[in-house]
Structure formats: C-alpha cells, structure tokens
C-alpha cells in the first residue's frame, strides 16, 4: 500500500503533471473555439478561389492575342518587377576556357557567362566535332541535383544530343553543383523581393542568357531551339519556353503542375521561385502550357514519383485542359503526354530520354535520318572535377545582390502620413475587414480571474480564436500577440492582469492555433502567389480586432504587446495602418531592429516568411513604421 502511495505521489510530482495541476489558467488558454484544421481548410479555400482560371478563347487567333498579353504581364509584373534595365537587357558576356576533346565525335567546351552583373554561371557546350550548316540547339537545365551539371543522366543526354549532330548547352543551376552554398539557397531570393527587386529574375535570366549563348553560335539554327530538364529543370523548361518565344520545342519532366494540384499535394509545392509573388493571380502553370501553342510540347511525368508531381495527380489539371488549344490551332499532334513506369520514380533515365529523342526527331528531323534509341555512352562520363569551370571567388549570390540593392533603402520622403499609409496598404495588399464575433462565451472564473473565449470573423475568409482575461480591477486594455501563440504567454498574461490590465489575446493568421499544420513558409508563399500578402492579412486582422474589441468592450484605444519578431512586425504594420484610431501604443519584445537584418547571410525566409513582403523595404523599415503609427499632425 505504501509502495502504491509512493508511486502515485511521484507521478503527481512530475514537472508536467505539477504544472497542469497548479496552473488552470494555462489549461483555460489552451481551450480554443477554433482548431488549426479549420484554419487549414480556410487557407486552402483562400488560395484556391484566387487562382486565375484558364479560359479557352473562341478561336486560335484570339488566343494568340490573349497569350501575348499574358506573356507580357507575367514578364513585366512578376519576372522583371523592379528589375533594372541593366539586368533585363544585359549581355551574357561569355568567357570561354578549356576544351575537352573526347575522341568520340564531340567535344566539350567550358565557359561561364553572366546571368546578372557579378553572377557567373558555369556551363558546358557539347559540340559535334564536325560542324556543317545550321544545327538544332538544346538548352539542358537541371533540378535539385547536388552534382549539378555533372549529374550522369544529364551528361548522357548532352552526349547523345551532340552525337546526333546537335549543340547542347549544359547549365549549372543556382544552388547546385559549383553554385552550392547558403547564399545561393533558392528561398534566399526573398531577400531581393523584400528590396522590391524580383528574385525570380535571377533564375530566369540565367536561362535566357544561356539561350543567348547558344543562339550566338555560328551553327545554331534559330528555328530549331529546344529546352528540357527534370524536376526543377522541368520547372525552368516550362517557364522559359512559355515566356521566350525563341524556344520552339519544350520537354519538361516532372517539374510543374497546376497550382491546385500543389495545394492538394504538398510535396509538389516546391520552393519560392516556383511560387513567386503574384504569378497565379495572372497565370497558373496550365496557362504556361497553353502559351506554348502551337509550338511542340511533350509533358513527361512518372507513375511512382517519390518526389513530386505523380503522374496520376497532374494529367487532368495540367495536360488535359491544354488539348483544346492545340486542337483549335490545328496542331494536335504537337502536344504529347507520357507517363513513365520504368522505373517510374523521379527520373530522367533512358526511357524518358528516349521519349525526348523521339519527340525531338519527329519535329526537328522529320526529313532526315532518325535514331530514337539512346546511343550507349556511359563509358564517356566525366568527373565533376574534370567538368569544373573556373568562376570568381566573390561570385555574386542572392545575399550579396540583396545587400547591394538595399544600400539606399528605404527611400526618402514619401509624403504625408495619409499618403504613406496608402502606400503601405498597397504594398501589404492589406484588406479592409468587416469584423464580427461568431462566438463570445460568458465568463468563467479561473483562480479568481475572469476568462472569456471568442471567435472573430474577418470578412468571408477567416475566423480566428482568442480570449479575454481580466481581474476585479481594470484600468487599461492590452491586445497580446505572440509568435508562439497566446497560449505560450501564460505567465505574462497573469502578470498583466494582476497589474490591472484587461488582456485580449489573439492569434493572427499563421501564428499559434491559427497556423495550419505543415510548412509555415509554404503557406505564406501560396498566399503571395495568388496576389495577397500574409503580412497584410495579419496586420489587417490586428487592426480590425482592435477596432471591434475597443467598441464591444467599451475599452477605448488598446495597447498592443507583441512577443517575437513575426508578431512584432505585424503589430508595427497594424499600428501604422491604424494611425492611432484604435491602437494607442505598441510594446514589443524580441522585435526585429531593422528589416535589413532579414538580408544577413544567416537570415532564412523559412523563419519569417511573411516579413519578406515584396517591396516593403523599398519604402519602410521598422523606424518608418513606428513613426507612421502616430496620428496625422
């Protein structure tokens, strides 16, 4: 009996058990009226309903006019937004170096070229030994292979193309092979976005400048230009080919899908370059496929893909809607789809390569001899070291490009506070919410404190949970926000209440219980790609909550207390938008001292995704936001 009592006592004295038993306030804060699964469903609906739908034109001529408009808008409003003329119209300035004479009827010429000033891209040109007349050219781009341009299946493809009498350019992709390193990490493009310069442009220009190099070759046939690649290379293929009409044939392999497929299959969402700000508000990836009309397009997917874009999940939303466009143009035979089952994994192995050769031969070599089979060449593979191309030690990356772009930011005088608020509202895409309480419970007493739970509705899009905690004496109201969710601030809430504050605690979107399960940064970038901004939504929710609660609780203006850098920035933006209407002060803990800290080499988009709001640093840093929070003088 004594042994059983001792066991029971030891259990009761465990730290977790003791904390729950001694702190009913923590238990009360943990009981919310909205779950994260409900928020997840709302976030999915928010994204899905804002994706631009592909609408067939009445005829092929009309579609080509519409396609020109879409192409121009994507280039101007997404790819090259905020990009200087120097970048957009620059030259690749290729520098050629060593030539590898293989002894197998082709040579490999090493080169580097500039994607943007200061960023050199290593590349390899596979060239037939005998050059006669004009030859087809193929730009070979690769995906997330750490071995980069030395990856064996990519070498084999380039060797085969050269042996078939074609020019094949093998590019290194940013973040892979020789361009590995934290500064080249794909999501670091957000640092340029924050400065108001499209980070996507770096990816695009690396491809486009490679195409410039190919077409400058004396034997290049500008009427026979193809692009192909796997995974991220498939993404590069469709983006460049859809937007650059110099490309006459494209074969993307397991690299893209309609955005709805990505939302439903989170392993297909990808990195920030694949979901850039505003793209889906203008064109979904199925639009990019349709932009290829009437040029030949072969879409290859894999039946057992262990990475992304499983064949069975993409055909109906990415290929089928485009058939009508090719039929309308009278070139149905130029659109093809292939589902690889051998091996069926995420691959560009021999079966997929032979599908590519066959498609290329059909459209580029219709009148000449054709060989659709792979030419055995595995014994000719080169080592990564042999294929290494010299690049500068201080080669530019996203970090250095962003640091340079930010030197003179934020800009100077932006006018009156009213004008600044309107500009901030535009940058944040901040919505105006009609707010009401879906639920507001009666008070319950917890250790002498009054606790009420509520659910606030923000327009038709969001319903967020919160609590009101107060004691017997109330002399002020505080809206509390925390990166860890308000339930993580039990001690601080008790301390505020004991000092006479009524504490209203709320989790804005992507915070605490309002964070859907899964990747935080993917949720934020999906919101951005459909034309909205997570930071703007958060700030607007805080403003709307402050105004509603001030009115309902007859509380006058509220002070905001934030904990953590994410909620700190959202609170600053909210107060700036509010202009002292309902928010009289902002007290922050662990706030970002400056948005420029988000540009430091060790700063990661994944940690503060909503803070990398496109163009925010162009006009506002934390100091400007703080100043803007005051009333108009």
Q: pLDDT tens-digit profile of 408-417?
A: 999 977 799 9
Distance CA 575, CA 430 (A): 13
Q: What local confidence, expressed as pLDDT, does residue 2 receive?
A: 37
In Å, the largest CA–CA distance within the chain is 98
pLDDT score for 414: 79
Give the residue-averaged pLDDT of 120-137.
98
Give the H or E element holding residue 476: strand 476-482
* pLDDT for position 128: 98
Residue-level pLDDT at 137: 98
The mean pLDDT of the chain is 94
Residue 517 has a pLDDT of 94
List the domain boundaries for the chain. 23-48+416-628, 80-401
What are the strands, taking DSSP E only, across 256-344?
297-302, 335-340
How far apart are alpha carbons 45 and 40 in whole angstroms? 9
Query: Quick check: 53 pLDDT over 70?
Result: yes
Query: 27: Cβ–Cβ under 8 A, 6 or more apart, which residues?
Result: 20
Distance of CA 561 to the CA centre of its chain: 30
Q: What average pLDDT does range 32-48 have in this prediction?
A: 94
**Which CATH number applies to 80-401: 3.40.50.1820, 3.40.50.300, 3.40.50.620, 1.10.150.120?**
3.40.50.1820
In this predicted structure, the answer to whether residue 368 has a pLDDT above a threshold of 90 is: no
What confidence tier does 557 reach under pLDDT thresholds 50, 70, 90?
confident
Q: What is the DSSP letter of 326?
A: H
Q: Residue 1 has what pLDDT?
A: 40
CATH topology for 23-48+416-628 is Rossmann fold (3.40.50)
The pLDDT-based confidence of 516 (bands split at 50, 70, 90) is: very high
Task: Assess whether pLDDT exceeds 80 at residue 587.
Answer: yes
Specify the pLDDT at position 632. 55
The pLDDT of residue 22 is: 64
Q: What is the DSSP string of 301-313?
A: EETT-SSS-BHHH
Cite the beta strand spans of 192-314 per DSSP E.
220-230, 249-253, 297-302
Give the phi and the psi of residue 286 in degrees, each rounded to 5.
Answer: -70, -30
Give pTM, 2 decimals. Answer: 0.95
pLDDT computed for residue 369 by the predictor: 79
> Which of the 8 DSSP states describes residue 46?
H
pLDDT score at 493: 97
Strand 106-116 versus strand 462-470 pairing type: unpaired
Phi, psi of 33 (to 5 degrees): -95, -5
Q: What is the pLDDT of residue 11?
A: 36
> What's the pLDDT score for residue 13?
41
Sequence-distant (6+) residues with CB within 8 A of 278 are 77, 78, 81, 528, 529, 531, 614
- Please tell me the predicted confidence (pLDDT) of residue 10: 44
Average pLDDT over residues 94-114: 98
User: Is 23-48+416-628's fold the same as 80-401's?
Assistant: yes
Question: What was the pLDDT predicted at 543?
Answer: 97
480-501 mean pLDDT: 96
pLDDT per residue as tens digits for the range 262-314: 999 999 999 999 999 999 999 999 999 999 999 999 999 999 999 999 999 99
Q: Tens digit of pLDDT for each residue in 524-549? A: 999 999 999 999 999 999 999 999 98
The pLDDT of residue 556 is 78
Give all strands (DSSP E) within 303-412, no chain letters.
Answer: 335-340
Residues 428, 526, 238, 119, CA torsion sign: positive
CB distance 519 to 441 below 8 Å: no
Angle between helices 200-215 and 232-243 (to 10 degrees): 70
pLDDT surpassing 90 at residue 554: no
Using one digit for the tens of pLDDT, what is the confidence trace for 203-242? 999 999 999 999 999 999 999 999 999 999 999 999 999 9
pLDDT of residue 496 exceeding 70: yes
d(CA 161, CA 138): 8
pLDDT at 333: 98
Of the candidates 226, 286, 29, 194, the residue with the CA atom closest to the CA atom of residue 528: 194
Q: What mean pLDDT do residues 482-506 have? A: 96
Where does the pLDDT of residue 356 fall: very low under 50, low under 70, confident under 90, or very high at 90 and above? very high
Strands 435-440 and 444-446: unpaired
Q: Span 494-498, mean pLDDT?
A: 96
Q: pLDDT tens digits for 173-200?
A: 999 999 999 999 999 999 999 999 999 9
Q: Is the pLDDT of residue 19 over 90?
A: no
Reported confidence tier of residue 96, pLDDT bands at 50, 70, 90:
very high
């Amino acid at each position: 009996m004594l042994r059983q009592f001792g066991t029971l006592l030891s259990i009761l004295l465990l730290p977790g058990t003791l904390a729950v038993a001694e702190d009913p306030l923590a238990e009360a804060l943990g009981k919310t009226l909205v779950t994260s699964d409900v928020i997840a469903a709302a976030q999915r609906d928010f994204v899905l309903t804002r994706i631009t739908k592909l609408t067939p034109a009445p005829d092929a001529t009309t579609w080509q006019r519409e396609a020109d408009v879409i192409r121009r808008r994507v280039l101007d409003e997404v790819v090259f937004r905020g990009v200087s003329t120097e970048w957009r119209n620059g030259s690749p300035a290729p520098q050629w170096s060593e030539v590898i004479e293989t002894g197998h009827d082709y040579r490999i010429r090493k080169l580097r070229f500039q994607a943007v000033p200061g960023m050199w891209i290593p590349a390899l040109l596979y060239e037939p030994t005998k050059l006669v007349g004009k030859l087809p050219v193929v730009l070979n781009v690769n995906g997330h292979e750490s071995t980069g341009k030395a990856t064996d299946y990519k070498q084999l493809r380039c060797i085969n193309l050269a042996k078939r009498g074609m020019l094949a350019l093998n590019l290194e992709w940013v973040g892979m092979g020789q361009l590995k390193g934290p500064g080249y990490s794909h999501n670091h493009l957000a640092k340029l976005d924050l400065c108001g310069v499209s980070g996507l442009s770096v990816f695009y220009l690396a491809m486009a400048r490679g195409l410039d190099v190919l077409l400058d070759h004396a034997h290049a046939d500008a009427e026979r230009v193809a692009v192909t690649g796997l995974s991220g290379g498939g993404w590069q293929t469709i983006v460049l080919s859809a937007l650059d009409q110099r490309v006459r044939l494209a074969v993307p392999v397991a690299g893209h899908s309609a955005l709805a497929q990505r939302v439903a299959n989170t392993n297909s969402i990808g990195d920030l370059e694949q979901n850039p700000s505003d793209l889906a508000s203008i064109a979904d990836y199925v639009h990019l496929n349709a932009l290829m009309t009437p040029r030949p397009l072969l879409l290859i997917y894999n039946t057992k893909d262990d990475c992304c874009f499983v064949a069975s999940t993409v055909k109906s939303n990415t290929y089928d809607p485009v058939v009508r466009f090719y039929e309308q143009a009278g070139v149905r035979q130029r659109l093809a789809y292939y589902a690889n089952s051998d091996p069926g994994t995420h691959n560009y192995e021999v079966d997929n390569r032979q599908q590519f050769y066959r498609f290329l031969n059909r459209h580029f070599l219709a009148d000449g001899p054709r060989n659709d089979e792979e030419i055995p060449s595995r014994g000719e593979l080169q080592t990564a070291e042999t294929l290494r191309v010299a690049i500068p030690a201080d080669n530019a990356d996203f970090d250095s490009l962003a640091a340079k772009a930010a030197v003179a930011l934020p800009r100077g005088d932006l006018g009156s506070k009213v004008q600044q608020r309107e500009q901030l509202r535009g940058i944040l895409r901040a919505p105006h919410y009609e707010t009401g309480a879906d639920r507001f419970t009666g008070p319950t007493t917890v250790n002498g404190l009054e606790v009420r739970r509520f659910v606030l509705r923000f327009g038709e899009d969001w319903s967020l949970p919160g609590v009101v905690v107060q004691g017997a004496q109330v002399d002020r109201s505080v809206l509390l926000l925390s990166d860890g969710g308000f339930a993580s601030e039990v001690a601080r809430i008790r301390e505020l209440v004991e000092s006479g504050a009524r504490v209203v605690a709320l989790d804005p979107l992507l915070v605490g219980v309002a964070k859907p399960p899964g990747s935080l940064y993917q949720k934020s970038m999906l919101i951005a790609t459909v034309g909205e901004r997570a930071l703007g939504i958060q700030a607007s929710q805080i403003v709307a909550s402050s105004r509603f609660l001030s009115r309902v609780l007859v509380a006058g203006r509220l002070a905001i207390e934030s904990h953590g850098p994410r909620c700190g920035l959202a609170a600053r933006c909210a107060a700036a938008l509010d202009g002292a209407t309902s928010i009289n002060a902002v007290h922050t803990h662990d706030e970002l001292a400056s948005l420029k800290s988000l540009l430091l080499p060790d700063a990661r988009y994944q940690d503060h995704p909503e803070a990398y709001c496109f163009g925010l640093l162009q006009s506002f840093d934390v100091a400007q936001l703080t100043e803007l929070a005051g009333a108009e003088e």
